[in-house]
Amino acid sequence: MSVTPPEQPPPFYDPAPGGAPRPSGGRSPVVLGVLVGVLVFALIGAGVAGWKIFSGNDDNTVTAGSTGSKAPSPAATSPASAMPSTDPALAAYYDQKLDWKSCGDNECATMKVPLDYTKPDGTSIGIAVLKVPAGDPSERVGSLVVNPGGPGGSGLEYAAGGAKQFGKQLADHYDIVGFDPRGVGKSDPLKCVDTAQMDALLGYDPAPETAAGRDKMDSLLQTLGNGCLTESGELARHVSTKEAARDMDILRATLGAPKLDYLGASYGTFLGATYAEEFPTHVGRFVLDGAIDPALSNEQLSLEQAKGFETALRAYVADCVAQGDCILGNTVDEGTARIKAFLDQVETTPLPTDTSRMLTSGWANLGIWLPLYVKDYWPYLTSALKQAFDDHNGSQLMTLADAYASRGSSSYTDNSMEVLYAVNCLDHDDYIPTKDVPAHFAQFEKVSPTFGKAFAFGLSTCSDWPIHSGQTSGPIHAKGAPPIVVIGTTRDPATPLEWAQALSKELDSGTLITRNGDGHTGFQQGNSCVDDAVEAWLIKGTQPKPDLHC
């Protein structure tokens, strides 16, 4: 199954059973992810109010039109200040005028884009867009397009966090604009499998030892891939990052912006870098936070992520030990060994939970991975492990795993996990057969004794995906773009610091900010040095000091 930690988890409102404290500031994680062979999500805080806007079927939701409509009729021309399309065949899309309507305290609209950019006169799909108007209109700088990661994360929910998500300075000076990328959430959504089928995939052993177990893993992944084609048809072939980047340029034009100002986190950095490569002269003020290195192969990405999660786990255990009376032991090595032994045990003997589902190996890994994204969540993990060790009950770990996967009490609350696989399988077509994965165990276990084998199976996740794009990795230079700010964090589990360092060097105009800390991403993570530099760049155009360390 090979689902490695996501880049960002879903709304996690309820504290873990047992009274674990809520993260400071009332921040709720968003489940997204960076699948690079393995499924990896990233954790970014989002204001509770922002998430609540999209719960239930109320007047605060926006749903894109159904797939299958034709290209939009040219509306009144887009604002003169906006750069038009360089392709006359796309003029109808670039010239469309969005019909903004109130959705709670915000404004929502549906943008049309071509399903297939090689057939611009063919079928169009809807992209849901949400705008949080600038808090201080007299100081408004423009529109800031944001993406929280994934692939599969909702830009609507991310943007709706407003000042709670992005800080008062950005929220006052910018209209914060989020969109659900093609196939995601409120846009014309990708549909692949039902709840039971997704449960079977995510709960399955992420590192099967036998040939029969690996065959079962292949079967579960084939069910997902074939389901995407059966349930979603051509949309499943057109959810790549390159296509989403082209959608962003149409969004730029509909916003009347000659250049795009953008803040992308985690997978959102890959989306932003891809945009910069495709449209370097349309780049405005860019921030890529928690960066992915687009030059790396699937194997390199998976191996470095394995190392990143092991580093984060050891930081968590070290903190537990330092506080005294740690449930994991008296040393970091003892603690990581106990967690590994626990995961091995659950593989053969799942734990009961307060639900009808058992905590299997797959769910246990997800439950441990999620808190590693945010240091404030470490107490949740300690409480959950204590319950599992002392009471032989997996309820708290299952709560964390469900948050990771956006699973509600009876079904999934969004389609982020389906999109995660579908996009990554199109973006990376360099997978190996599952039967060949064990030959790579040694190198993965060397960098991650705890999670190595699970991450190794990221090498084969998409080997039997029914759609092969032929896309391979390569460096992104964005020649001709203005300065692009890249942020990396020293102990980031999902997007290791090395990736940010590499991307900042590959980009012709990259400049790096390094945050010394734990957790995923750097902006709005309690580091004023990072926050001040980002705000000065986006609001005033003041470039950060070269190689700024915070």
Q: Which of 273, 246, 364 is nearest to 3 (CA)?
A: 364
Q: What residues does 27 pair with on adjacent strands?
A: 47
In a 10 Å sphere around its CB, with 0-12 CB exposed, 13-18 middle and 19+ buried, how is residue 121 labelled? exposed
520 is catalytic: yes
Contacts of 179 (CB under 8 A, 6+ apart): 111, 127, 128, 129, 130, 145, 147, 155, 156, 187, 247, 248, 251
Dihedral, CA atoms, 37, 43, 46, 48, nearest 10 degrees?
Answer: 100
Task: Give the β-pairing of 174-179 and 142-147.
Answer: parallel
Q: Is 528 a catalytic residue?
A: no
Closest among 30, 150, 31, 146 to 420, alpha carbons compared: 150
**Six token digits for residue 65:** 């039109």
Task: For 506-528, give one letter per residue: b (16+ CB within 10 A) or e.
Answer: bbebbbbbbbebbbbbbbbbebe
The beta strands (E) that lie in 167-258 are given as: 174-179
Q: Which of 376, 492, 518, 531 is catalytic?
A: 492
**Phi, psi (5° rounding) for residue 508?**
-60, -30
Cα–Cα distance between 261 and 270 in angstroms, integer?
15
> Which residues, in sequence order, are CB contacts of 52 under 8 Å at separation 6+?
none
- Rounded to an integer, what distance in angstroms lies between the CA atom of residue 443 and that of residue 445? 6
How far is residue 276's CA from residue 157's CA, in Å, rounded to a whole number?
24
Question: Beta 27-30 vs 44-47: how paired, if at all?
Answer: antiparallel
CB 240 within 8 A of CB 427: yes
User: How many angstroms from the chain centroid is the CA of residue 153?
Assistant: 5
Active site residue 78: no
Give the burial class of 138: count Cβ atoms within 10 A of its Cβ; 0-12 exposed, 13-18 middle, 19 or more buried: exposed
Helix (H) or strand (E) segment spanning residue 121: none
Q: Which of 2, 28, 85, 266 is catalytic?
A: 266
Residue closest to 424 by CA, chosen among 527, 253, 302:
302
> Strands 101-103 and 69-70, how do they pair?
unpaired
Tokens linked to 410: 């009876």
Of 44, 279, 63, 25, the residue nearest 146 (C-alpha): 44
* Active-site residue identified among 180, 302, 520, 531: 520
* Tokens encoding 161: 């966090």
Query: What's the chain's Rg over C-alpha atoms?
Result: 22
Half-sphere exposure of 76 (CA within 13 A, CB side): 6
Residues labelled catalytic: 266, 492, 520
